[in-house]
Amino acid sequence: MGWDSYNHLRDPLLRALLPKVVCAFDPEIEAEFPPDMSGRRTVEAAGKRFTQTVVVPKGEPSNFLSEAEPRGKFAGLMRQPRR
């Protein structure tokens, strides 16, 4: 996310997706905690299901950010004016 992400908060196309988003308890993912902060997302579109599971998200000690990643985010946030 950068400052320009906030420009999309009132986008009617994006807001039309909100009622279609469901957050659900997943016992398989929950069983990964506390050693891992796992997550899963599933998108259903055009009669197909697409799933992605992340066991160890970026930023966790075992999947730490490279030096370039936080520097890049910092530089991007410094370039974008706040609104």
Place of tokens 């998108």: 43
**pLDDT at residue 77, as a whole number:** 85
Q: At 53, which helix (H) or strand (E)?
A: strand 48-54
Q: Whole-number mean pLDDT of the chain? A: 90
- Residues 17-52 have pLDDT tens digits of 999 999 999 999 999 898 889 999 999 999 999 999
User: For the chain, what is the domain count?
Assistant: 1
The whole-number average pLDDT for the span 57-68 is 92
Work out the percent of the chain whose per-residue pLDDT is above 70.
95
Q: Say which DSSP state 17 is in.
A: H
Q: Residue 29 and residue 76: Cα distance in Å, rounded?
A: 33
Q: At 37, which helix (H) or strand (E)?
A: none
CB environment 13-23: b (16+ within 10 A), e (fewer):
eeeeeeeeeee
The pTM of this model reads: 0.67
Domain containing residue 47 = 3-79
Q: Residue 30 and residue 32: Cα distance in Å, rounded?
A: 5
